Amino acid sequence: MCSPLVEHLEHLFVLDKPVTFIMPLKNEQAVEENSVSFTCQLSKPNQPVQWLKNGSTIKQSVKYKISSDGSNYTLTIPKATIQDAAEYKVQLGDIESSAKLIVSGENTNIVNFDVI
């Protein structure tokens, strides 16, 4: 006969830690027709993340390249246009990270308004 402690240990479950962002997305700036990428890092590899632009799902296409390498997840826009300026998000279940993309014309200077 097992002691009560042994009986309780038979039902012990180890729960995985929830996935978190180790490195969230950061705002990006690009010149029109140039490539720009958003990259984040999660605490676990091989997760089914979803990318969004202004709340709409982004799918792999000529316009958008979606890739992952271990726990790093990247969305690349090979040829940014003015219309790509938006808020981008990466989601996994209940967690998300977002960043903005600013795109300028080829002959326009990008001005950074961050306060030091």
What span, in angstroms and rounded, lies between the C-alpha atoms of 26 and 74? 12
How confident is the model at residue 61, as a pLDDT?
97
Share of the chain above pLDDT 70, in %: 79
Q: Which fold has domain 19-104?
A: Immunoglobulin-like (2.60.40)
Residue 9 has pLDDT above 70, yes or no: no
Share of the chain above pLDDT 90, in %: 75
What span, in angstroms and rounded, lies between the C-alpha atoms of 23 and 100? 16
User: Which secondary-structure segment (H or E) carries 91?
Assistant: strand 86-92
- The pTM of this model reads 0.79
Alpha helices in 1-116 (DSSP H): 4-9
**pLDDT band at residue 44, thresholds of 50, 70 and 90?**
very high
**pLDDT band at residue 31, thresholds of 50, 70 and 90?**
very high
Q: What is the pLDDT of residues 71-96, one digit of tens each?
A: 999 999 999 999 999 999 999 999 99
Q: Are 23 and 70 in contact (CB under 8 A)?
A: no
Q: How far is C-alpha 88 from the geometric centre of its chain's CA atoms?
A: 8
Tokens of 35: 């490539």
**pLDDT band at residue 113, thresholds of 50, 70 and 90?**
very low
How confident is the model at residue 115, as a pLDDT?
46
Average model confidence (pLDDT) for the chain? Answer: 88
